[in-house]
Structure 1
Amino acid sequence: MRVLVVEDHEELAETVAAGLRREGMAVDLALDGPTALERAEINGYDVVVLDRDLPGVHGDQVCRTLAAGGSRARVLMLTASGTVADRVAGL
């Protein structure tokens, strides 16, 4: 399985990636929205683990762009935002 981890906190991104790699997954990292979109355009990912609050391009827009471009990747959004409004906006 090929996974793109998109998280602007590098230590957290590396920790998530290391855990996924231990499970046998091929993992790429992106630390901002523009890099995530560039990597997704080049590589066919099965899953994108996506932070919402990203520099450059917000995670919500990254998700919209992936969907509009026909990406078949499943997106798992992660965020520190805990309000109901934030969760609804993410959906």
Structure 2
Amino acid sequence: MLFLARMDVTFPAYLTAEEVTDFQVREKAYSAQLQQSGKMQGLWRIVGEYANHSLFNVESNDELHQILSGFPMYAHMKLKVTPLAKHPNSLS
């Protein structure tokens, strides 16, 4: 099952620069693991925003929920998930 997820991150003002850096380091490691496993098949930054679009290929809604809630920045994310289906005009 393919899903496109938009993730917008907003850190609370009370976090220190060191805490934000720690989130970023852990987030990078987690997303690398997902990409290497094939569960995250694409990752694109949205220009001018602290946000991204990610493409996930998972077995179920529950698996996707588990993956998304495992992101270190999850508590500071606004998520929009869109299920995808093959377009009849797609060449791939």
| TM-score category (smaller protein) | 0.3 to 0.5
Determine which structure has greater relative contact order: mean sequence separation of CA pairs < 8 Å that are 6+ residues apart, divided by chain length.
2
Alignment TM-score, normalising by the size of structure 2: 0.34
More helix by share: 1
Structure with bigger gyration radius? 2
More strand by share: 2
